[in-house]
Amino acid sequence: MTSVQIVLASTSPFRRELLARLGLTFVTANPATDETAEDGEAPEATALRLSEAKARAVAAQYPEALIIGSDQIACLDGQVFGKPGSHDKAVKQLKTMRGRTVNFFTGLCLLNAKTGKVHLRGVPTLVTFRNLSDDQIENYLRKEQPYNCAGSAKSEGLGIAAIARMEGEDPNALIGLPLIALCDFLNNENISVI
């Protein structure tokens, strides 16, 4: 299929599972990137910058490879909802987002480490949450424990029941890796997935 090595700059099992759907041979690498937003940086700009930073972080290890980096930020009225990391923060996030529409913006980068060429795209997904009761939020969090997911929403699991509507160009973007855009990038690097 391809003799060029493909590297996923991520330790996310969800991104790994999504990339595996394309049937490509790839390896994963930990990008160990600081995911802090810069002062005054728009959420969309942060996601794009971090997706490229993650790809560049592993480029020295894989100087001949095509490296995939991705980052996602959930945003509502200018407020960023990152990975909650704890139950209490997840409760607060979901209470704030219930009955509202949140932009889950996923940045995607494909870096050709050999040529230095960068393919970069942002893919928004608008997610409208159900108007969940406090008990429903607690039940969901106890069952799913999505503490490592932006916005405490894990749509590939039970979190789908917390969602009333989704609008976007690629359902995979919400899980963390926009495969439609990635296929475009790979085609531009003369790699045909099918």
Per-residue pLDDT, averaged over 1-30, amounts to: 92
Q: Are residues 12 and 29 in contact, defined by beta-carbon separation less than 8 angstroms? A: no
Q: Packing angle between helix 179-188 and helix 13-20, nearest 10 degrees? A: 60
User: Helices (DSSP H) in 32-170: which residue ranges?
Assistant: 43-57, 87-97, 134-144
Condensed to tens digits (0 to 9), the pLDDT of residues 33-87 reads: 988 888 889 999 999 999 999 999 999 999 999 999 999 999 999 889 888 999 9
Statement: residue 1 has pLDDT above 90? no
Token pair 């040529």: residue: 115
* Sign of the torsion formed by the C-alpha atoms of 41, 43, 46 and 52: negative
Distance CA 43, CA 53 (A): 15
Statement: residue 14 has pLDDT above 70? yes
Average pLDDT, the chain: 94
Answering whether pTM is above 0.85, one says yes
Catalytic residue among 34, 71, 88, 170: 71
Token pair 């592993």: residue: 58
Statement: residue 194 has pLDDT above 70? yes
Contacts of 188 (CB under 8 A, 6+ apart): 119
Which pLDDT score is estimated for 180? 97
Q: Which two tokens stand for residue 147?
A: 């503490």
If we measure between CA atoms, which residue out of 71, 69, 79, 70 comes closest to residue 42?
A: 79
Class of domain 6-188: alpha beta
Q: Indicate the residue type of 27.
A: V
Token pair 């899980």: residue: 175
Distance CA 84, CA 109 (A): 24
Statement: residue 29 has pLDDT above 50? yes
Distance CA 1, CA 145 (A): 38
Condensed to tens digits (0 to 9), the pLDDT of residues 79-123 reads: 898 889 999 999 999 999 999 999 999 999 999 999 999 999 999
Statement: residue 2 has pLDDT above 60? no
* SS3 of 102-113: EEEEEEEEEEEC
User: Percentage of the chain with pLDDT > 90?
Assistant: 82
Annotation says 71 is catalytic: yes
